[in-house]
Amino acid sequence: MKIMFAGIGLIGGSMAKSLNRANIKVDGFDRDNVIEYALKNKIIENKAIDFSLYDLVFIALPPDATMNFIENNTFKNNAIVCDICGVKGVVEKLVYSKPRNFKYVGCHPMAGKEVSGIENSTEKLFDNANMIIIENENTNAEAVQTLTELFTKMGFKLIKHCSADHHDRKIAYTSQLAHIVSNAYVKSPAGKNYVGFTGGSFQDMTRIAGVDEEVWTRLYMLNREKVEEELSILISNLQKYLEAFKNNDEPTLKQLLKEGRNEKARLDAEKPII
């Protein structure tokens, strides 16, 4: 099976490295300086030029670039074309807007770093991580099986299957909202001269604050309605805490904290044992 990656930055590069670890060689397509780095460090075997030669094409690009790549290139008949960007509904809508000669499967690896670029990629990024595979009535079962086997070789532990709508709704909460909260949190004036006053909680809250606005703004807007809904729920919940403080209402604050503690315990109970 001939495999290529369109986009070999942090995610695409890490996926390529993890396949190399499993003795599976891949080709790649990206900017010339990235290709040069990938070839020099043996992350890829060759620069991909004719995409129609490949049995499996992973597209590790931002959403708009992903959709442009799908729309403006030719793929091998019955090839598997798999995008791995962070929103699925808009990509799926584009793919199924007309007949295609390839088997499309949308996926989303739930792993990353605070930094980007191929130089930060690692073969271990996906060890024990989660992978989401999007399925609908058009999804080819054999393509899903092929990808599942490859994802297992990459190190993924838990593979979830769901619809694009379900994915986008969950990701709005588990990823996109979390980044917004962290980004907003660091804007407090109390953050100035913070050295010596922090522990693990501060590190946890600020770790993902430094989002790339060029990338994340578009991700948010492509999933705008679902992010807006989750942000509204969060603001409503925070308002309850604020009112308790304003009213000097200790019983209500205690109840709110108890409810949050119980919900955290429920979330922890859902975690798989690795």
Strands 3-6 and 27-29, sheet pairing: parallel
Q: Is the pLDDT of residue 239 over 80?
A: yes
How many whole angstroms separate alpha carbon 37 and alpha carbon 47? 11
- pLDDT for 70: 97
pLDDT digits (tens, 9 = 90+) for 16-39: 999 999 999 999 999 999 999 999
Tokens 């024990």 correspond to: 128
Q: Is the pLDDT of residue 194 over 70?
A: yes
Contacts of 57 (CB under 8 A, 6+ apart): 3, 4, 5, 6, 51, 75, 79, 80, 81, 82, 102
How many whole angstroms separate alpha carbon 114 and alpha carbon 25? 27
Domain extents for the chain? 3-162, 167-188+201-270
How many whole angstroms separate alpha carbon 14 and alpha carbon 154? 9
3-state secondary structure 233-266: HHHHHHHHHHHHHHCCCHHHHHHHHHHHHHHHHH
Mean pLDDT of 159-179: 96
pLDDT digits (tens, 9 = 90+) for 104-159: 999 999 988 777 899 999 999 999 999 999 999 999 999 999 999 999 999 999 99
Rounded to a whole number of angstroms, the distance between the first and last alpha carbons of the chain is: 31
Topology classification of domain 3-162: Rossmann fold (3.40.50)
- pLDDT for 113: 79
* Lowest-confidence segment of 1-5, 196-200, 247-251 by average pLDDT: 196-200
Return the CATH superfamily for domain 167-188+201-270: 6-phosphogluconate dehydrogenase C-terminal like domain (1.10.3660.10)
Share of the chain above pLDDT 90, in %: 93
pLDDT digits (tens, 9 = 90+) for 210-228: 988 988 999 999 999 999 9
Work out the mean pLDDT of the chain and round it to a whole number.
95
- pLDDT for 274: 52
Using DSSP, state whether 139 is helix, strand or coil: coil
- pLDDT-derived band at 270 (thresholds 50, 70, 90) equals confident
Mean pLDDT of 89-113: 95
Structural contact between residues 122 and 17, judged by C-beta atoms closer than 8 angstroms: yes
- pLDDT for 272: 66
Mean pLDDT of 194-198: 91
The tokens for 184 are: 């907003």
pTM value is 0.90
Of residues 239, 263, 241, the one with CA closest to residue 250:
241
Of residues 241, 234, 127, the one with CA closest to residue 184:
234
